Chains A and B, each alone.
Chain A
Amino acid sequence: MRSWLAALVPVFAATFALAQPATDGRRTGYQDMSPALQQMEDDDSANPGMLFVQMGEALWRQKTGGADKACADCHADGSMKGVAARYPAIPAKGDKPVDIEGRINLCRTGQQKAEALRPESEDLLALTAYVVQQSRGEPIAPPDDPRLAPMRADGEKIFKQRQGQLNLSCANCHDDNAGKKLAGATIPQAHPTAYPVYRLEWQTLGSLKRRLRGCLIGIRAEPYEVGAPQWVSLELYLMSRARGMRLEGVGVRP
């Protein structure tokens, strides 16, 4: 009996990810995937993304670069809570919006005097995962910075612009046909609540940029170059579209 109860505790503790303020019809990909995958995401000992969170924590405490400083030397434990819910944002000493990965690299080049980490590299994904995980359960809260508005508008334009050989826009699937099936899979509403995400198809962790690139290739459009501002614009728009929805931390998707 006791062990039966003990087995239920993690299930109840984990169902918070389901607790989206779902009154307005917005749904996360989490809500559309199978119970087995939901359990995989919720159980920290089964979610393969947690391996990267662990790795990210080790990197967070590791001194590096010309300044021989670790992230943990400046930032207290747990101080990244809520940060992922605000990004992309314009950093204090900058004028261009950056995403979380970009922000980590700014700290690396500026404070640690180390080389920027390559996009989609294991180290950058792991550090991002560690930072994002601390915002698990936090509602997405894009900043009301007026300087972000033009780029957010760009992102909305890209989202609604037909492109590629299939002449489809993001909105054609993710606004107009969300919830219907595409080749057996439910089309999600494209709310970025679980990035970086462990996709079973990738067999590894990947960023929102990688996911968007996959969609662009899918509609046979040419993906933007690595580091192009369009990625940040799109992310800005997607985050404002998902305002108030709860971040899942490092998620699992099929």
Chain B
Amino acid sequence: MANVMVNAPKTARKGEVVQIKAIVLHPMETGYRVGTNGQMIPRNIIERFTATWNGEEIFDMKFSPAIAANPFVTFFATASESGKIGLRWKGDNDFDVEHSVDIAVE
């Protein structure tokens, strides 16, 4: 079950810099740990987080094993036009979660 929380303003003025905060439930298993059975726990991380504004990419981040579980990302964007902010997390084990929020720019 994909579990995401996104905090972005619902409205903004044109040209305003808005803050977008996103958190996703994910164990971010590093691949360097040994389990109780003595075997390595296979790596399971998010590799890529991208954000789009009406389909156009505005933010792109590569994740590494050093990032904590349930990664929380905050970034800024300049409000240009009304529409959808799309967020996508992709990673190991075919992890692929998409979420979008609407924003009205006046």
Contacts and interface: CB of A to CB of B under 8 A. Distances in A.
B5 A50 contact: yes
Interface string B1-26: 10101110100000010000101010
A54 B72 contact: no
A204 B69 contact: yes
Nearest to B70: A48
Interface residues of B, number: 16
B69 A45 contact: no
Q: What's the dominant secondary structure at chain B's contact region?
A: loop
Nearest to B22: A45
A184 B21 CA distance: 31
Interface string A1-35: 00100100000000000000000000000000000
A46 B68 contact: no
Contact of A55 (B3, B9, B16): B3
Interface in B57-86: 68-70, 72
B72 A55 contact: no
A121 interface: no
B23 A51 contact: yes
Interface of B: 1, 3, 5-7, 9, 16, 21, 23, 25, 27-28, 68-70, 72
